[in-house]
Structure 1
Amino acid sequence: MSEGEDAEATRAQAVGIIRDALRREYDGLIDLGDVEGRSVSETELVFTTRALAAMSLQLLTGFPSAEAAASVTDGRDDQGIDAIGCSPSAPELWLVQAKWSEQGKARFGVEGALKLLHGLRQLDNRDFDRFNRRVRQHADRVRDILESPECRVHLVVAVMGEQASKDQARQVIEQAAADFGAAVECHVLALPDFYAAAHRGGLPQNVELVATLPGSWYTQDIPHRTFSGLVGADEVALWYQEHGARLFDRNLRSHLGVTALNLGLVETLRTTPETFSYLHNGITVLCDSVETEFFSRPVVGAPVRLRLKGAAVVNGAQTVASVYYAYEKHPEKVSLAAVPVRFISVANAPEGFARSVVAATHTQHPMGSRDFVALDEVQNLIREDFRATLDKEYVFRRGELVPTPTAGCSLEEAAVALACGHPDASLSALANASTEHLWEATPEGTYTLLFGRRPSALQIWRSVLLLRAVREALHELKPGLTGRAAAIAERGGLLVAHLIFRLDGAAGIDDPDAEWEPVLGDVPGRVRQVLAVLIPLVDDLFGSNSFVATIFREAERCRLLAETAVRTLTDAERTPQLVVASPPQQPRRPSSARLLVEHRRIPDGTQVLYQPGRVEERAIGRWLDEDPRRYLATWSNDARHPLRWAADGRLYSVNGLIRHIWQSAEWREAWSAVQGPRYWIIPGEGSLADLAEALWDAKALRDTGE
């Protein structure tokens, strides 16, 4: 057999092993309903392509097989996206395009790259109506992720071939990633990657880490083997580069995702990396086993290399993500930093020990810039001013109960409103990117610009009222805007508020005798005027293919938009009119509870179970476990209050009971937004959201005749 024939035989054998692994892992899990009636060969091709997309997602995220299979979106109107993966606890999104080849010779070229990027742009523009049903079912979560300041997008190319990506195709993706922002990463998986996964016979693989302790470390063996010391930050960054989100796959073997980047960590690494180990908490790594390789003498404290099998970061995911982010930008700086790390081997540990470590390490609440700002005496003076002059409450300490909208406001709301009212539009961009930007208290920092010359309670309160009025006006316009226009209106809300401040909102804002109600009354009309200018201006300045998700977080782009918009808006003859479409003809989807009640989908008295997400489980799991009734409720077909909580016997709305549970557990960091139907499940049938979605999809199919 010639060398070429031998290579062909080896490739064919690898393809066969991969095909068998896909069948073994995903048989019965991949949706093939749209290819019923086709030939066996066609159906097999569709299955293997979709299973390849699922395997890619599972390799990169650690999703269980069923969840990875359910994430497949391949089919008509997929817009180049064969699978969508959404982190359940972090603003992280994976978009997969898969290409199968029975010969193992698939290629990924410019055409495929452009299709994948086209799909990302369609998502960014909120053009969900152009996608198929499989994509649309992820619409809410995708929208939430793309709107998050800490959003990270992973473009995944999966090809059944040895050469995964041509240089030209890779350049297309990298350029688009640069346009979208720094939070886009490209991953290429090829035949060797899938062969290695299939050959292991299990997904995902156990994470194996190598950690170098140069010296001054210590250890203990009783009762559990532990090593503590400093690891080079660049080595920590390489952990994530190699293993991705699987690095955090420990809590009951379920995916955690990368938590939000900590801007303070990144800034320390960029400016004073040598101080990093003194200023920031370390990370904790659990592992199934650890082996030591000494460079010289085998004594405690001497340079050693640790090889850890079955490793997972159980505390410090934020640190790892921030180190990796900084390493991408400033590798030479990060190489000068060290990270305190504790390695714990759970070999021979009693059942529940690993969970105890995870729970204990997540009860720490380190001080951040936001907490130090609360120590500023200026904040106390502002609160006194609120009470004395306005008879309202101003809350500035973390954990304090935020007043109702009519009773006052919080420091966060005040800071965002003042940022919008500042003459420099870049401050609205900073607030849009992350409120963490607002707490920099250096002489030129944002906090100093906003609060350095202590604003009066009247100025703050009127700024807050104006921002609220802008947001309410945008909310009212939302049903009449679609696609890219809707995305610009939604993500550019803070810049819209800035422009209204610039035009006529700042005059008299600190004058007790100035009438403020007329200003607020003009806001809806002003919002329409501003949007009429802003929506086409985004495309004129940055192109119709620009990514909306990042435009309003970038200081220079917001400055340019603001200056250009102000010139147009001050010229009445040049100001266009906003075209708002009539409400969509399709009926608006009722709430999940109302839909279920209208169809009597769930019999009265059915028991439903609260299934907390991974973040909530860490935060309130112990509290829930103290009384098992806290997990339980019974269903009654009342659209307003369908749940009777077993813990107190009272009736609640679906969302209201979730909020009540979080408040009762004193979870201070709980989210303000609640998607209650996804938390309540009927064992063996699915969540309330799943049941309601199935009813709505069935109605849509009847209406469209699909």
Structure 2
Amino acid sequence: MSIIHVNQIGSKIKALFSEKIDKSDLNPLDKEIEFKVLTRCLAAYAVYCIGETLIDEAALAVVDGADDNGIDAIHYSPSNKRMVIVQSKWKKDGSGEPDNGDLRKFKDGVLDLINLDLDKFNGKVNAKRQMIETALAEFDTKFDLVLIHTGANTLSRHNQQVMDSILNELNDAGDGTSEDVVSFHHLNQAIIHGGLASGMDGEPIDLEIGLSQWGKIEEPHLGFFGIVAGEEVANWWGKKGKRLFAKNIRQMLGATEVNDEVKRTIEEQPENFWYYNNGVTIVAESIKKSMVGGNSREIGSFKANNISIVNGAQTVSVIGRYAQEGGANLTKLRLPIRLISLEGAPEDFGASVTKTNNRQNRIESRDFVSLDEEQIRLKKELSLEGIEYNIVRSENIKTSPATIDLSEATVALACASTQVGLAVQAKREIGRFYDNLKKSPYKTIFNPRTNGIYLRNTVFSLRKIDEIISNMITSLPKKSGKEYGILVHGNRMLAFLVFRKLEIHRSADKFDFNADDIDWNANTQSTLQKLMNEIEESYKDKFLATLFKNASICKSISEKM
């Protein structure tokens, strides 16, 4: 049936993306034009699925063409700090898998992209330079590498080894641990066909939902609440996929920290899932209770017509994908659920439920920092110095001479410490500082000895170094090469080395250094030159994007310098 499935996939993705992708570089008389269009549509579909984007955004992500360096689509979402990088292969006979050489080309292209060696790419990729640089510079950006093809096979051992090698390299923290900064997704014919068969928007979804310990509210609008089993939620996802969230404003968009935490709970503490998770909210055109269970509140079965999950999309998607990966803990999973009927409700009530549920911002680890007594003390100390210290997360914070944000304070104190590993962590994943407020690395930089004036001075000093680095980048003749890569990827390491050279840490107790009395430009320039020399001598062939996130390598550089 593979040929039939391939033809069905082709018809569907062309209908979705063909008129939206760029085809200006294709020759209408080219005998391969149909194949090339399908390849690009397939790449867009991969972005749509993995990047959880709108169809138009997915189409704009396609960069396939001459000199694409093995990469067919690139998309970055600032809202969830995730970059999707795709290689697409259209196999018209529906058999086999991509060649090993194609995967090696994809691997090399990904490394070139992450290393900002954009001279090796076509104009389509370079048109996204600002987006790529932003993704690489942002705190906690994670990467999804996607291989999508219409072949029927799983990956052979040799092909899997290619992808494993890049995952191992990019996820190696250099301290004997591995962090999931980069993930790999293999979408073959069966997965593609199954996803398309479940529909993109399609017909209304009706669900039979089994609740235990259920209750009911009748006024002013009918609603039910209770506990739903993890296996049942996984079944919704398996059958309906993203269509479950058609009316959800954010759909599955959101910080991956939330997704990671949900999955961690499933894997490590499934029996506590009900206590830790906010659950799911579903609106439905109508909800009817069946006769199952009678009048008992212990168990009940409900028929919900034309439903949409308006809150809990991330929870449902993580549970669904966990099930697809063969997760073993679903039988232990229970989560809270609300079912809200729109029958007899005002016309705009469903929209109001959707909006108000999505206005509630997610809770991140860093949000609990605002309750830490050390942060409250620092905020008071800085207030007396005329500085507003923002320790509550907000999207509207703009730093200024009178304003400091927690994130830049964390980076500044990490770079001003004597521990190069802290500077590496600030570059690699700053969110880890806030995982446990009672232990390192958080307590190493935020403790009773940390005072407000020292924090202010280190932040203002880091701003000077960052400004110098920015000016250096602007003055470079081209945005590529070793120096450019070090300035972009090694900015935190460079700041650490400058701070150490000036022995800023010795001021932690006296906190009496004046940032304006230091020649930051000369110190940064000379340190950069030494850093470049050391990398050229000892790490000439290392990818800079991973080098500066590797704790052991950075420690070695620090010791040699």
Say if 2:244 is the partner of 1:250. Answer: no
Secondary structure, aligned partner of 1:362? helix
Give the TM-score normalised by structure 2. 0.80
Write the distance in 1 (CA, Å) between the matches of 2:70 and 2:365.
42
Say if 2:470 is the partner of 1:475. Answer: yes
Deviating more after overlay: 41-50 vs 147-156: 147-156
Q: Which residue of 2 aligns with 1:278?
A: 275
Kindly name which structure, 1 or 2, has the bigger radius of gyration based on alpha carbons: 1
Q: Which one of the candidate residues 403, 406, 410 is aligned to 2:401?
A: 406
Give unmatched runs, 5+ long, in structure 2. Answer: 172-179
Q: Which residue of 2 aligns with 1:491?
A: 489
Q: Which residue of 2 aligns with 1:115?
A: 105
What's the CA shift for 1:410? 3.5
- Cα distance 1:281–1:65, how it changes in 2: closer, same or farther (>3 A)? closer
Write the distance in 2 (CA, Å) between the matches of 1:199 and 1:281.
31
What's the CA shift for 1:79? 1.4
Q: Which one of the candidate residues 116, 140, 147 is aligned to 1:157?
A: 147
What amino acid does structure 1 have at the position aligned with 2:116? Answer: R
Residues 389-538 of structure 1: pairs in structure 2 closer than 5 A: 390=385, 392-397=387-392, 405-440=400-435, 442-479=437-474, 480=476, 482-483=480-481, 485-504=483-502, 505-511=504-510, 516-521=515-520, 522-529=522-529, 531-533=531-533, 535-536=535-536
Deviating more after overlay: 221-230 vs 327-336: 327-336
Write the distance in 1 (CA, Å) between the matches of 2:511 and 2:195.
69
Deviations 1:322-354 (A, max 9, x none): 778999999667865543232445578654333
What's the CA shift for 1:471? 1.3
Q: Which one of the candidate residues 71, 74, 79 is aligned to 1:81?
A: 71
Write the distance in 2 (CA, Å) between the matches of 1:500 and 1:531.
11
Secondary structure, aligned partner of 2:20? coil
What's the CA shift for 1:217? 2.4
Q: Which residue of 2 aligns with 1:35?
A: 26
What's the CA shift for 1:111? 2.0
What's the CA shift for 1:261? 1.2
Q: Which one of the candidate residues 133, 139, 142 is aligned to 2:129?
A: 139
Q: Is the 8 A contact 2:144 2:183 kept in 1?
A: yes
Q: Which one of the candidate residues 227, 232, 235 is aligned to 1:230?
A: 227
Deviations 1:582-601 (A, max 9, x none): xxxxxxxxxxxxxxxxxxxx
Write the distance in 1 (CA, Å) between the matches of 2:410 and 2:183.
32
Secondary structure, aligned partner of 1:464? helix
Q: Which residue of 2 aligns with 1:576?
A: none
Write the distance in 2 (CA, Å) between the matches of 1:238 and 1:147.
38
Write the distance in 2 (CA, Å) between the matches of 1:537 and 1:327.
48
Say if 2:64 is the partner of 1:71. Answer: no
Residues 322-401 of structure 1: pairs in structure 2 closer than 5 A: 336=332, 338-344=334-340, 351-365=347-361, 369-386=365-382, 390=385, 392-397=387-392
- Identity of matched residues, %: 26
Q: Is the 8 A contact 1:150 1:261 kept in 2?
A: no
What amino acid does structure 2 have at the position aligned with 1:31? Answer: D
Deviations 1:382-440 (A, max 9, x none): 3443455x554444455699686323523433233222222333323333344443345
Write the distance in 2 (CA, Å) between the matches of 1:147 and 1:506.
26
Secondary structure, aligned partner of 2:335? strand
What's the CA shift for 1:360? 0.8
What amino acid does structure 2 have at the position aligned with 1:525? Answer: Q
Write the distance in 2 (CA, Å) between the matches of 1:322 and 1:154.
15
Write the distance in 1 (CA, Å) between the matches of 2:63 and 2:322.
33
Write the distance in 2 (CA, Å) between the matches of 1:347 and 1:110.
56
Structural RMSD (CA): 4.3
Say if 2:116 is the partner of 1:126. Answer: yes
What's the CA shift for 1:23? 4.5
Q: Which residue of 2 aligns with 1:54?
A: 44
Q: Is the 8 A contact 2:43 2:86 kept in 1?
A: yes
Residues 540-579 of structure 1: pairs in structure 2 closer than 5 A: 544=542, 548=545, 552-553=548-549, 557-558=550-551, 560-569=552-561
Write the distance in 1 (CA, Å) between the matches of 2:495 and 2:159.
40
Write the distance in 1 (CA, Å) between the matches of 2:465 and 2:330.
42
Secondary structure, aligned partner of 2:506? coil
Write the distance in 1 (CA, Å) between the matches of 2:363 and 2:3.
57
- Cα distance 1:82–1:340, how it changes in 2: closer, same or farther (>3 A)? same
Deviations 1:7-50 (A, max 9, x none): xxx554444444444454445434332232534x3222322332
What's the CA shift for 1:509? 4.8
Secondary structure, aligned partner of 1:357? helix
- Cα distance 1:412–1:84, how it changes in 2: closer, same or farther (>3 A)? closer
Write the distance in 1 (CA, Å) between the matches of 2:449 and 2:538.
35
Write the distance in 2 (CA, Å) between the matches of 1:210 and 1:46.
39
What's the CA shift for 1:142? 3.3
- Cα distance 1:538–1:211, how it changes in 2: closer, same or farther (>3 A)? farther
Q: Is the 8 A contact 2:417 2:505 kept in 1?
A: no
What's the CA shift for 1:257? 2.6
What's the CA shift for 1:532? 1.4
Q: Is the 8 A contact 1:108 1:166 kept in 2?
A: no
Say if 2:187 is the partner of 1:189. Answer: yes
Write the distance in 1 (CA, Å) between the matches of 2:516 and 2:78.
42
Deviations 1:551-591 (A, max 9, x none): 555xxx32x2343122321xxxxxxxxxxxxxxxxxxxxxx
Q: Which one of the candidate residues 144, 156, 179 is aligned to 1:166?
A: 156
- Cα distance 1:198–1:379, how it changes in 2: closer, same or farther (>3 A)? closer
Deviations 1:173-220 (A, max 9, x none): 2442343332444333344455556667x5356797989756212345
User: How many pairs align?
Assistant: 547
What's the CA shift for 1:370? 3.9
Q: Is the 8 A contact 1:73 1:83 kept in 2?
A: yes
Secondary structure, aligned partner of 1:524? helix
- Cα distance 1:443–1:49, how it changes in 2: closer, same or farther (>3 A)? closer
Give the TM-score normalised by structure 1. 0.65
Write the distance in 2 (CA, Å) between the matches of 1:326 and 1:107.
25
Q: Is the 8 A contact 2:63 2:74 kept in 1?
A: yes
- Cα distance 1:444–1:23, how it changes in 2: closer, same or farther (>3 A)? closer
Give unmatched runs, 5+ long, in structure 1. Answer: 1-9, 570-706
Q: Which one of the candidate residues 311, 317, 322 is aligned to 1:315?
A: 311
Say if 2:208 is the partner of 1:217. Answer: no
Secondary structure, aligned partner of 1:203? coil
Q: Which residue of 2 aligns with 1:682?
A: none
Q: Is the 8 A contact 1:22 1:48 kept in 2?
A: yes
Deviating more after overlay: 495-504 vs 376-385: 376-385
What's the CA shift for 1:80? 1.5
Q: Is the 8 A contact 1:127 1:484 kept in 2?
A: no
What's the CA shift for 1:361? 0.9
Write the distance in 1 (CA, Å) between the matches of 2:340 and 2:375.
43
